[in-house]
Amino acid sequence: MPPSPRRATLATVAASAGVSVATVSKVLNGRSDVSPATRSLVQSLLQEHEYVAPAPRREPAGLATVEVQFDTDLNAYSTEIVQGAVAAGAEEGVGIVVSIRSGTERTTAWARELVAAGRRALIAVTGELTAGQPAALARARLPLVLIDPLNLPRTRVTSVGSTNFAGGLAATHHLLSLGHRRIAYIGGPATAACNQARLHGYRAAMEAEGAPVLPGYVRSSHFRYHSGVAGGAAVLDLPRAPTAIFAGSDEMAVGIMEAARARGLRIPEDLSIVGFDDTQIAQVTSPPLTTIRQPLREMGGVALRTALRLAAGERIDSHHVELATELVVRGSTAPVPPRS
């Protein structure tokens, strides 16, 4: 395990500048009784040492907040996580702040801004993190918890997810049990850890049944509606089109439904579809979507409580928690069409 990054202190900066700690403190607090030359030198060294003021040890009652940060616009998936975090926050007596952040620039300044805003911890959802971001948060003594991260930094971080492999296995076994053998998988980014696990579950089920994965039957994109439309169109236009498709998210599954309808295919009579997440849209599609339930609200709640334990300096049993997934059968799946 790599050593934790050491946070620069006022004494570190003062020694580099050849001034007293009190002088550095005056510069930080905007006091006027410091010469311009000294002020410029101290400010330069504060930036060079990536100094971040430590989070306050005690916060006034009612002011503690945890930030839940996304790297893309909110959708049905993220809404479920937020609701879980908000419910847990209400029980724990902390507020939840939701933000959307894109890009990886200004890493140290970003951590400093979170601390200055009084955040007790940060929960990042399905985000791409650089190695510098966890390091900046660690220097600021601001706990970080990831939910279903697309990529895991090399440094050890705490994360919450679900049993993605088992979910992929269950989804594919369900389709195989209905007699389908031409089953395609349309998932999210190829390098995303959660997508890789779902894909491995799909492949394991196919291999165990002796069902071949035909060329063109596995596609990677984004967990979004338009990716489902494009991916569905691509596999349904193959010379040997699949009779069933396992989608990496409910949103993608709805896009695949649209691609199928555009080609005159009926669901589930001509094509069976399984999604992943069990968001609210799974229940309002026509027909309702068979899907793998990912306990999103519970994941939000576990992430919130874990972040608060870290902020309180408590030890946690595991740096990665996986909650169980579950197959939910609805109307979008049926036995393979006889002519197939």
Beta bridge partners of 211: none
Q: How far apart are CA 187 and CA 165, in angstroms?
A: 13
Domain ranges of the chain: 10-48, 65-161+297-321, 164-295
Q: What CATH number does the domain located at 65-161+297-321 have?
A: 3.40.50.2300
Q: What pLDDT score does 37 carry?
A: 84
Residue 12 amino acid letter: T
**247 φ/ψ angles, rounded to the nearest 5 degrees:** -100, 145
Amino acid found at 79:
T
How far is residue 122's CA from residue 142's CA, in Å, rounded to a whole number? Answer: 7
- Cβ partners under 8 Å of residue 123, min gap 6: 66, 67, 68, 69, 85, 144, 145, 146, 147, 300, 303, 304, 307
Q: What is the pTM of this model?
A: 0.78
Residue in 244, 243, 206, 250 with CA at minimum distance from that of residue 227: 250
In this structure, which CATH number among 3.40.190.10, 3.40.30.10, 3.40.50.2300, 1.10.30.50 belongs to the domain 164-295?
A: 3.40.50.2300
Nearest-angstrom CA–CA distance, 245 and 218? 10
Measured CA to CA, the distance from residue 100 to residue 73 in angstroms comes to: 7
Largest Cα–Cα separation, the chain: 87
Alpha helices in the chain (DSSP H): 10-17, 21-28, 36-48, 76-92, 107-116, 132-139, 164-177, 193-209, 225-236, 250-262, 281-284, 296-311
What is the model's pLDDT at position 153? 61
Closest alpha carbon to 114 in 327, 271, 311: 311
Residue 128 token pair: 């791409």
The dihedral region occupied by 14, where left means phi > 0, alpha psi between -120 and 50, and beta the remainder, is alpha
Mean pLDDT for each consecutive 10-residue tract of the chain (340 residues)? 56 81 75 80 80 55 78 87 93 89 66 86 80 81 87 75 96 98 96 93 97 96 95 97 97 97 97 96 95 96 93 86 96 88
